[in-house]
């Protein structure tokens, strides 16, 4: 904490002259805003992508300037619901814009959205090739692929949910190294998001959720399992899909979403025996879904989870529907009496489902016996802009108009030795950082 504050102070001090200079120079599309739009928006807002309008040049961006100002300021765009300034801030594939960039956009719009000097425009940005694995450059083609069953995406219409179950074809359980979800090239503009989970059969032959396989929203890279952890792809399993299509004007017959799995193998020097098991599971916050939110009412639900061994939390993905407005994940350690917020999403939007993956070295380390507290809040009043009908009683259920209250969390299950080792590594890293920044001054 104190280290972060110190670093914050140092960078704030370093910025003073830059800011003073920037204040004199007019903010224009050419000199600053184009770069911000490229870095944060264009991946979705270009022809053929899921964004409803294209932002590839000044003429396209200019008419939307007032709405862009509003959406970046209320942090609805880019769509990534994870709070600043509370909990762990170091995330992989973090889409949040810096306050500085938000302020630049606001100042630009308030100044009348000037174009500026064409010569200052950055060169066009390269985007990943549609229909190709983004992890392939680093890892080669996936070892195993699984496809959703075929589905006809219509050209127009409402949101569609497609939830088929398919056999995985996995005959021997393996440790997953990385996983990526790929929509088809034809339907990538309408595949809003696609999540998948493993199912295995219990003793009675019923199919039960085993754990999450992959999560995808447009623009996201695949996920790599952290070093030293084994996330199992179970043998004789099925994959359950939850795909959200949002028709974009192009009809696609027989569409399929594909998930690619890269396994650990001997070449990686991966020692399965010495690895710690990691799983990505659903943690309920609602005591089995037994709740009702009254018309024009509010509700809070909570879930408590603890382990008899130390753990490391690798990712957190809240899930609520339309009345849901916020979720937090905290940890309470009875040994110290301390409670700490790990993560918070207080601007929930059910249209986007992101797994927030903590940066290596910043994943929360949870001592044995500590309690993970998940809290979610629901607002069924007319004040909730996403509420379709405040006159309804709302209970738990599958439909979008019902509610849900759970989080998908990736947990690496450690032992005392592994836990102590990770703590020691963090301490070393911290000492090094402090020493370096001290030495540089
Ligand atoms: C991951 C893809 C994605 C990214 C990144 C993204 N958008 Fe969007 N944007 C969408 C989609 C999809 C919609 C339409 C549905 C919605 O509003 O959620 C949208 C809608 C919008 C709208 C219209 C909102 C309204 O109220 O009608 C604006 C304005 C907008 N985006 C601006 C931006 C800006 C500015 C950025 C970058 C700072 C950005 N978007 C980044 C996907 C994206």
CA of 175 to the centre of ligand 1 (A): 36
CB half-sphere exposure, 100, CA atoms < 13 A: 10
Under 8 Å between Cβ of 369 and 308: yes
User: 101-110, 151-160, 264-273, 289-298: which has the minimum mean pLDDT?
Assistant: 264-273
Q: Which of 45, 80, 349 to mutate to test the pocket of ligand 1 (most atoms within 8 A of CB)?
A: 45
Closest CA to 276 of 383, 374, 421, 170: 421
* Mean pLDDT to the nearest integer, 176-185: 93
Judge whether residue 24 has pLDDT over 70: no
Take atom 18 of ligand 1 and give the residue whose Cα is closest. 351
Question: Tokens 């088929």 identify what position?
Answer: 164
Task: Return the ligand 1 atom nearest residue 40 CA.
Answer: 37
Q: What's the mean pLDDT in 46-70?
A: 94
Please tell me the predicted confidence (pLDDT) of residue 436: 56
77 in ligand 1 pocket by Cβ < 6 Å?
A: yes
Q: Which residue pairs from 163-168 have beta carbons closer than 8 angstroms and sit at least 24 positions apart in sequence?
A: 163/240, 163/241, 163/242, 163/243, 164/240, 164/241, 165/199, 165/207, 165/238, 165/239, 165/240, 165/241, 166/238, 166/239, 166/241, 167/237, 167/238, 167/239, 168/144, 168/198, 168/233, 168/237, 168/238, 168/239
Residue of 108, 190, 107 lying closest to 152 (CA atoms): 190
**Ligand 1 pocket, mutate which of 52, 215, 351 (most atoms under 8 A from CB):** 52
How much is the pLDDT for 168?
A: 96
pLDDT one-digit tens code per residue, 349-397: 887 778 899 999 999 999 999 999 999 999 999 999 999 999 999 988 7
- Alpha-carbon distance of 184 to 180, in angstroms, equals 13
Please determine, for residue 337, whether its predicted confidence score (pLDDT) is greater than 60: yes
Displacement of CA 167 from its chain's centroid (Å): 26
- Indicate which atom in ligand 1 lies nearest the CA of residue 351: 18
The pLDDT, as a whole number, for residue 3 is: 42
Q: How far is the CA of 40 from the centre of ligand 1 (A)?
A: 10
For the segment 302-324, what is each residue's pLDDT rounded down to a tens digit? Answer: 999 999 999 999 999 998 889 99
pLDDT digit string, tens, across residues 76-134: 999 999 999 899 999 998 999 999 999 999 999 999 999 999 999 999 988 878 888 98
Closest atom of ligand 1 to 219 CA is 1
- Structure tokens, 311: 């753990």
Report whether residue 70 contacts ligand 1, using a CB cutoff of 6 Å. Answer: no
Asked if residue 193 has pLDDT above 60, the reply is yes
Please check whether residue 69 is in contact with residue 85, taking contact to mean a CB–CB distance below 8 angstroms.
Answer: no
């Amino acid at each position: 904490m104190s280290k972060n504050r110190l670093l914050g102070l140092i960078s704030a001090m370093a910025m003073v002259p830059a800011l003073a200079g920037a204040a004199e120079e007019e903010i224009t599309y050419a000199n600053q805003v184009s770069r911000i739009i490229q870095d944060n928006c264009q991946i979705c807002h270009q022809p053929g992508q899921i964004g409803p309008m294209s932002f590839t040049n000044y003429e396209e961006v200019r008419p939307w300037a007032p709405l862009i100002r509003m959406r970046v300021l209320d942090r609805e765009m880019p769509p990534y619901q994870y709070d600043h300034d509370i909990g762990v801030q170091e995330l992989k594939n973090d889409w949040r814009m810096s306050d500085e960039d938000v302020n630049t956009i606001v100042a630009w719009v308030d100044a009348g959205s000037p174009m500026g000097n064409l010569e200052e425009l950055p060169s066009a940005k390269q985007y990943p090739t549609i229909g190709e694995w983004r992890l392939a450059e680093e890892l080669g083609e996936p070892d195993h692929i699984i496809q959703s069953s075929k589905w006809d995406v219509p050209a127009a219409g409402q949101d569609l949910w497609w939830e088929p179950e398919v056999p995985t074809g996995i005959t021997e359980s393996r440790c997953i190294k990385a996983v990526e979800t790929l929509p088809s090239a034809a339907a990538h503009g309408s595949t809003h998001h696609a999540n998948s989970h493993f199912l295995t059969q219990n003793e009675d032959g019923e199919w039960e959720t085993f754990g999450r396989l992959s999560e995808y929203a447009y623009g996201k890279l695949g996920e790599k399992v952290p070093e030293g952890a084994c996330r199992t792809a179970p043998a004789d399993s099925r994959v359950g899909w939850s795909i959200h299509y949002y028709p974009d004007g192009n009809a696609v017959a027989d569409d399929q979403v594909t998930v690619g799995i890269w396994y650990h193998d001997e070449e990686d020097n991966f020692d399965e025996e010495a690895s710690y098991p990691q799983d990505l599971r659903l943690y309920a916050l609602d005591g089995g879904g037994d709740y009702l939110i009254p018309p024009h009412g509010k509700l809070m639900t909570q879930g408590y989870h603890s382990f008899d061994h130390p753990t490391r939390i690798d990712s957190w993905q809240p899930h609520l529907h339309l009345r849901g407005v916020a979720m937090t994940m905290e940890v309470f350690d009875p040994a110290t009496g301390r409670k700490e917020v790990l993560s918070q999403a207080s601007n929930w939007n059910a249209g986007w489902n992101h797994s927030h993956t903590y940066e290596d070295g910043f994943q929360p380390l949870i001592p044995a016996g500590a309690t993970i507290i998940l809290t979610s809040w629901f607002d069924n009043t007319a004040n909730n802009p996403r509420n379709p009908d405040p006159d309804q009683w709302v209970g738990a259920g599958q439909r979008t108009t019902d509610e849900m209250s759970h989080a998908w969390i990736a947990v690496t299950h450690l032992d005392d030795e592994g836990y102590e080792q990770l703590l020691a590594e963090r301490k070393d890293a911290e000492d090094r950082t402090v020493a370096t920044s001290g030495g540089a001054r």
